[in-house]
Structure 1
């Protein structure tokens, strides 16, 4: 009986830690996606910039990512037609020697004012 317990107990603990690790990685991915979406909202506004997208994403990361997402980085770009925000980092590690990368990206067209043609009202 004790020989089985010696083998089974560490294995069960390892499985439990793997479940916790997956939950932390999933939570970190959701935080990164929320930050990318918020950054995209700021970057694609009519007078928005890539710097505004970075600032919007940074506000979300400062508020949410202190635990599950470590070493977050932000990459924002904006052209005349599109904007994108990319968040990257690693999930907090529970299992030794395991680092899981986290990546999220949001992109979309920029908002533009297009006047209605004359007589279309």
Structure 2
């Protein structure tokens, strides 16, 4: 009977020691994990923001280029030299309305690759979250000049 009591007591002490060792062995692990994973988490958040900034700036530049090209296509036949100024005004208006702080220092070029074709090309800087990162967006839209011809029918 004494052996059974001693054996039970020893068993309880061993289990208590195992629990204490398991608890003691994990102390501080949460702090270490937090220290190691926090920079990764912040990098992922900033990368997501940078991704969104870049693609929104790309969409703004593309919309401005398409709007400028539409204006150039519509007015190039009526005003052979004046379409450039009107298309530039439309591009500037689009950029100022959609993303003035997002499309930085846009370089707008009016294109006329062929006799009956006009277009707009935009290259601009994108604001960055990461220091030293240099991102640019490029958008181009080209199309044929619209010509309105009177119907020669009977």
TM normalised by structure 2 equals: 0.71
Contact 2:111 2:142 in 1 (8 A): no
**Aligned pairs, how many?**
119
Which whole-Å CA distance do the structure 2 matches of 1:35 and 1:100 have between them?
Answer: 18
The alignment's C-alpha RMSD in Å is 1.5
Q: Which has the higher contact order (CA 8 A, sep 6+)?
A: 1
How far does the alpha carbon of each residue in 1:20-73 deviate from its partner, in whole angstroms, 9 at most, with x for none?
000000100111011111101111114251221111111111222222211112
Any stretches of 5+ residues in structure 1 without a counterpart? none
Determine which structure has more spread, i.e. the larger CA radius of gyration.
2
Any stretches of 5+ residues in structure 2 without a counterpart? 1-28
Correspondence for 1:55: 89
Higher strand content, 1 or 2 = 1
1:97, distance to aligned residue in structure 2 (A)? 1.2
Higher helix content, 1 or 2 = 2
- Runs (4+) of structure 1 exceeding 3 A deviation are none
Contact 1:43 1:51 in 2 (8 A): no
